[in-house]
Amino acid sequence: MTVPPPRTALLQGTLDLLILKALNLGALHGLGVSRRVEAITRGTFLVKPGSLFPALHRMEEAGWLVASWGSSENNRRARYYKLTAAGRRQFESEVSQWERIAMAISLALQAN
């Protein structure tokens, strides 16, 4: 049995990247986004509604997402979010930026 890693606070600027990654895999409702982030980070990050929904609305206003109403797996009315072309470009940009940051931090930690 694998022990899940301890929860970790999201670093500033990583929430958008994780939401974009979750939605890059397909449209989801809000709770689905939270669950997918938890799954793709193997339980390390849990995005709470108080952080998730303001971020989704901000990203929708920026033109990175479109939202539409649909039915959830429980037959409840739910708002589904999907990446736009601008959202896919933003995702690629944020991945590139994160890779540069991660490399710089890795180099800094290896320095004597």
The predicted-structure confidence for 29-67, as pLDDT tens digits, reads as follows 999 999 999 999 999 999 999 999 999 999 999 999 999
Distances (CA, A) of 36 to 24, 29, 56: 11, 10, 14
Percent share of the chain, pLDDT over 90? 79
Whether the model pTM is above 0.85: yes
User: Which stretch of DSSP H or E encloses residue 52?
Assistant: helix 49-61
Taken as a whole, the chain contains a residue count of 112
Domains of the chain: 14-110 (1.10.10.10)
Helix then strand count (H, E) for the chain reads: 4, 3
How far from each other are the two terminal CA atoms of the chain, in whole angstroms?
38
Residue 96 · residue 78 · CB < 8 Å: no
Question: Tokens for 44?
Answer: 């390390």
